[in-house]
Structure 1
Amino acid sequence: MSQSVDSPVADISPEEAYETLTSDPNARLVDVRTRAEWNYVGLPDLADADVEPILIEWQTFPTMQVQTNFGDALEQACPNRSAPLYFLCRSGVRSLAAARLAKSLGYTNSFNIKDGFEGPPDEMGHRGLRAGWKASGLPWRQS
């Protein structure tokens, strides 16, 4: 399966994504970070929506090679191609590529969560303080 990442998708704020995820039972959050990020940095907490984030790595640590089976894994996890899908990574870059791929695969309501889970680094190189899911005060959990 070809993995084109040229399809345009909209960037939306973490707050907008969370609002839809908690109000639309068909909406899903697809977290494309690495397993290490899920385990050590944390995960969005969607208990208010009574769903769990869908976890599909876009790239695998430590090589950070793009997963050639990403499209297949997405199709297995999300068979409804009209459901709103909100893609999340650390800063909004990997998730944008994943959302573009989803759009090219026929997922008509694919969105990129702007600034991702942790947002850009501040002057000290720290993430999670200025923008993104965590900085927006949205629920999250850490193992």
Structure 2
Amino acid sequence: MTVELQEKPLHADLEAARGNAQAAGLPYAGSVTPQQAWALHQADEAVLVDVRTSEERKFVGHVPDTLHVAWATGTSFTRNPRFVRELEAKTGKGVAVVLLCRSGNRSAQAAEAAAKAGFAHVFNVAEGFEGELDEAGHRGSSNGWRFHGLPWVQD
């Protein structure tokens, strides 16, 4: 799936995220919550791109009707050297792009790489799809896309 979006003014949530990112000195446009990411995706205000591996998407689940460009591949998480080119081919560099991974860490790295490559509006989904690890070493008990009850499907 390739997205054909026109460049347009950023949604207020993305502008706020950009301001927070600048204040924090982040090397990319900023982060949004899973709820904001879903609302932005639903309103066609941003392109939601899953940067997890194909295996994660298949076995853990994924957000329906979203794009996929793996930041890393396989179970060893080998960095995808074509990530930026693949992302540009699917989204373009001028539209608002929101990246989603397991916990928000890889997608932040991917957002940084995309920003360095000239993407003007690339954001991270804080908390990711599964959320952060809790004290017992489990994900999904305190935050993340699935924890918040947002739409997802599983193969």
* Structure number with higher relative contact order (C-alpha < 8 Å, ≥ 6 residues apart): 1
What are the ranges of 5 or more consecutive residues in structure 2 without an aligned counterpart? 1-25
1:40 equivalenced with 2:59 (yes/no): yes
- 2:13 corresponds to: none
Q: Matches of 1:97 and 1:135 in 2, distance apart?
A: 23
Superposition pairs of residues 31-110 of structure 1, within 5 angstroms? 31-45=50-64, 52-79=65-92, 81-110=93-122
Q: Which runs of 5+ in 1 are unaligned?
A: 1-5, 46-51
Answering whether residue 32 of structure 2 is matched by residue 12 of structure 1, we say: yes
**Secondary structure in 2 matching 1:99:** helix
Counting aligned pairs with the same residue, the percent is: 37
Q: How many angstroms apart in 2 are the aligned matches of 1:35 and 1:99?
A: 19
Normalising by structure 2, report the TM-score.
0.78
Query: Is residue 117–residue 132 contact of structure 1 (8 Å, CA) maintained in 2?
Result: yes
**Separation in 1, partners of 2:63, 2:126:** 14
Structure 2 distance, partners of 1:101, 1:125, is 29
State the TM-score, normalized to the length of structure 1.
Answer: 0.84
CA drift of 1:30 comes to: 1.0
* 1:49 corresponding residue in structure 2: none
Q: Does 1:125 align with 2:137?
A: yes
Structure with the largest fraction of helix: 2
Query: Partners of 1:8 and 1:72 in 2: how far apart?
Result: 17
Structure 1 vs Structure 2 CA RMSD: 1.5
Q: Is the 8 A contact 1:9 1:96 kept in 2?
A: no
In structure 1, give the amino acid aligned to 2:49.
Answer: V
Between Structure 1 and Structure 2, how many residues are aligned? 130
1:17/1:113 contact within 8 Å kept: yes
User: Runs of 4 or more off by more than 4 Å in structure 1?
Assistant: none
Partner Cα distance (1:61, 1:107) in 2: 26
